[in-house]
Each structure stands twice: as C-alpha cells, then as structure tokens.
Structure 1
Amino acid sequence: MIPRELIATAHVPGGDAPLRLIRRGSEYSIMLGANELMNSRLSGSEEAMSTLARAQIGNVVAPRILIGGLGMGFTLRAALAAFGSDAAIEVAELVPEIVDWARGPMAHLHEGTLDDPRVQMHVGDVGAIIRAGAGHYDAILLDVDNGPDGLSREGNDALYTATGLQQAWAALKPGGVLAVWSSGPDAAFTRRLQKTGFSVAEEIVRARRTGGGARHTIWLARRP
C-alpha cells in the first residue's frame, strides 16, 4: 500500500481547521479536517465549469473572467483553453500557501498557467473583487467551497446569500454568467438565484474526465 505523506499545511483566514496538502504516490489531495476538498485525479467537473460558462456567453470578444478559488488549477487551465487568446482572466485565492503550492510541489499540475500573460493573480477575498467590479465581467466562476455554504470558512457564506448574489449580478455585464461548483444539489440556492433575476440551469457533471466518479452540480446563472 502506498503511504500518504503530509507535504504542507496552511491556515484559512477566518477558518478554524487547517488545510493539509497530502501526497500519495503521484496523487495529491487538499484536505480540510476529514473533508477532501480536491484531488488531482478528479478534475472533470472543475474543467467542465469553464467550458459550460464559455458556452453560456457565446463568442464574446475579449471576455473578462473572474475565477474564485485557484485550488489545483483545473478551472483556470480549462478557462485559458475555453475563453481564447484574447481573454483576461483574474483569479482570486484567499490562502497564500495555495499559490505557493502551485509554484512548488504542484507546479506540474498547473502547467505554467500562472505565468500566462492573460492571467492576473489576486491573493485575497473574491467577494471584495466582486463588490468592486460593477458591470466588469462576462463570467464569474466560483469554486471556493464544496457548495453554496462556507465549508472552508464562515465568511464565504456571504457569496451565496441574496445580497451576495445581487453583488455578483451587478459585477456581471448583461448576458454574463455566474457559475458555481458544488459537490451536490441545493434547491434553496437555486431559488435564491432565480429570485435575484438570473436565468438558471443546473448541470450534473461527473468528477472524472472519463465520465466516472461522483456527480457534482454546476449552476449556470445568466444575467439576461
């Protein structure tokens, strides 16, 4: 049996339990307590969020994209491929160590995406960027928790409240899309999106690129 090795730990601002970066052979995982937040073998649904969001906004010229959560870089890598050579992509990551891991032990997973000239990296709260970005973005992609609640820290709850969704609406251009990743469905969150005025579609996507693994939910909430 291949042993698990603790590579590094990180503190989540405003959170209680530390993040742990675990390696098992060539496989990496990021854990929060007993919860596995992400695994290097399971990138299918994070990548799908980018391609689905691109399909929602169509052939927008020079799209401006905001990604909440760097993680293992799967969403960013897919966004660079999906949104094209003229895209401008901002990534907000709250935990500085995750950015360090992207340039260190997990650099091979990120494949140099942080050095792409289309990418601007922010270390800080994606909510603050949303609040400051009125009418700025064609797409906002949120993968900061295991669903529309603050699993990693209570402060993230604000992103999914009625007020937080109104702020996301205001940060989007007309026709823009808010995409939210979740480990499962949440009917109450769907209703909040609809009450905000979004046109909402829910996509069920498998965790593995090959189509296997757990079923994850991606909300695609489009501002008319």
Structure 2
Amino acid sequence: MHLDYQELDYRPTPMGDLLLRRRRMPQFGDTDIYEVKLGEYFLMSSMFHEAEWQLSKLGLGAVEGEGLDVVVGGLGLGYTAVSALEDSRIASLVVVEYLDAVIDWHERELVPLGETMNADPRCRYAHADFFALCADVRKSLDPLQPDKRHDAILLDIDHTPTNVLRQTNTRFYTEEGLAEAGQHLKENGVFALWSDGEPEDYFTDRLGNVFGEAKSHRVDFANPLTGGSSCGTVYVARKLRS
C-alpha cells in the first residue's frame, strides 16, 4: 500500500465499522498521523491530543498522596494513559475500554504508544463497558479487584456530556450517574473528564453539586489543519461528599 496511506485495521463492532489508519500529509513531512473512524465519524487523531494529555496532568495534579490507584475510562490512542504513567506516584493504572479492537491495537503495538503502555508493569487493560461498571456501585471499576476504591478516575470516551457515542451513555452525566461514579472513589478522590469545546458552566455546577468541589479548565491547542487554534475542556471534581 502507498506509504502516504495505510489501513492498519478494519472490523465491524456493535457501534459500527471501526477503522484505524496511518497517513501522511505533505505539510507535515514524514510525520505519521494515526486516525480512528467509527462509522462516518472521526473519533480521534494523533494530530490533536493536547486536551487528552492535560486530562491526566490536571486530574492527577489535584490528587494528594502516594501509591495511587487510577482508572482511565477510554483507551483511544493512549495519550491519557501514557500521560498518567508519567506520574511516579501511580501504583496501578487500569484502562477500561469497550472495544476489544482498540485494546488489540495497543497489545500488538499497531499504534505508537502501545509499546510504552505494554512495557509499564503498573498498566493493565480491561475490556469492559466503563458506564456499566460505574452503575454497579457494589463492585470496583477494576474487574480483577472488586473491593477496590480509586484515587482518581480519568474519563475520555464521549465528545461532550451531551454529544455521546451511545445514547445510553447520557445517563452517566446526570447527577444520579455522576454520584454513582463518586462511590467508586476514595474520600478526597478526583474525577476528571475530557470534553470537546468550551467549558459549560452548567456542567461544572453539576459536578460541584455531586462531588462538593469542581473546576473547569480550558485547554487551547494549535490546529494545524486550519492554521489557527481549537480548544477542549478538562473538568476536575474532588469527592468531598459521601
């Protein structure tokens, strides 16, 4: 296949056809760009990952203590997880991913960050529905340790709380659904969420109502396709209420 375009994987999923491709664009020289499509929609691109990177930096920056047990909801191209692994305080990192194909890409190192994650003994993949795990407050978000509670939950799955990949995900972003997420955290634990676009005051307020403390952080990043900039949001909430 031509060097400037290569389809690395294609398979049907319950959510639509999933495509992983690698391509090059003249304006970026020999830089490989990895992209993921689900059906007709672009899910992620290696060109745009600053907000995902900052999800871990800002979320874990709000966590106190050592020996942290952290859960990442959504594997994607691995940016949130690898950014988290740069924090030496992490003892264990469980990455929960709904699509087994995405885990397979990392295990086979079809994507660049797979090697980093596979080489770190603190990191483990869990093939599961993050939202279903959250709704079951009797158990942990770590399928192998059902009694565990977590120091931080870093979530990067849906585009925004209202622009979701599956309509069933919508419930999670209500006060009821967020409260269930809070039950999986230790006291003073942190829930952090990546979202596309500008911060939404209503959602920051909702997080504050549920957890007790919440802030939103606008993350601006260069957009090489437009020559301008784009933005994402990282919401960070601390569990002060049981």
Report if TM-score (shorter chain) is over 0.5: yes
Q: Distance in 2 between matches of 1:30 and 1:207?
A: 20
Aligned to 1:98: 102
Superposition TM-score, scaled by structure 2 size: 0.80
Structure with the higher fraction of residues in strand conformation: 2
Structure 2 residue aligned with 1:72, among 77, 84, 92?
A: 77
Q: Secondary structure of the residue that 1:111 maps to in structure 2? A: helix
- Which residues in structure 2 correspond to 1:1-224 (within 5 Å)? 4-13=5-14, 15=15, 17-25=16-24, 26-58=32-64, 60-82=65-87, 84=88, 86-104=90-108, 106-130=110-134, 131=136, 132-133=139-140, 136-149=149-162, 151-184=164-197, 185-207=199-221, 213-224=229-240
The alpha-carbon distance between structure 1 residues 215 and 150, as it changes in their structure 2 partners (threshold 3 A), is closer
State the Cα distance separating 1:89 from its structure 2 match: 0.8
State the Cα distance separating 1:197 from its structure 2 match: 3.4
Farther-moved stretch of structure 1 (68-77 vs 199-208): 199-208
Farther-moved stretch of structure 1 (201-210 vs 167-176): 201-210
The alpha-carbon distance between structure 1 residues 125 and 47, as it changes in their structure 2 partners (threshold 3 A), is same
Farther-moved stretch of structure 1 (2-11 vs 106-115): 2-11
The alpha-carbon distance between structure 1 residues 216 and 10, as it changes in their structure 2 partners (threshold 3 A), is farther
Q: Secondary structure of the residue that 1:144 maps to in structure 2? A: coil
Q: How many residues align?
A: 218
Q: Distance in 2 between matches of 1:102 and 1:86?
A: 20
Q: Distance in 2 between matches of 1:189 and 1:57?
A: 21
State the Cα distance separating 1:128 from its structure 2 match: 3.4
Structure 1's unaligned 5+ residue stretches are none
State the Cα distance separating 1:90 from its structure 2 match: 0.8
Which letter maps to 1:155?
A: T
Q: Secondary structure of the residue that 1:87 maps to in structure 2? A: strand
Q: Distance in 2 between matches of 1:107 and 1:28?
A: 7
Q: Secondary structure of the residue that 1:214 maps to in structure 2? A: strand
Q: Which has the higher contact order (CA 8 A, sep 6+)?
A: 1
State the Cα distance separating 1:208 from its structure 2 match: 5.2
Structure 2's unaligned 5+ residue stretches are 25-31, 141-146
**Contact preservation (8 Å) 2:72, 2:81:** yes
Q: Distance in 1 between matches of 2:158 and 2:222?
A: 18
Aligned to 2:143: none
Map Cα deviations across residues 92-115 of structure 1 (whole Å, 9 max, x no partner).
Answer: 000000011123363423333134
Structure with the higher fraction of residues in helix conformation: 1
Identity over aligned pairs, percent: 31
Superposition TM-score, scaled by structure 1 size: 0.86
State the Cα distance separating 1:214 from its structure 2 match: 1.5
Q: Distance in 1 between matches of 2:208 and 2:90?
A: 31
Farther-moved stretch of structure 1 (38-47 vs 133-142): 133-142
Q: Distance in 1 between matches of 2:209 and 2:119?
A: 39
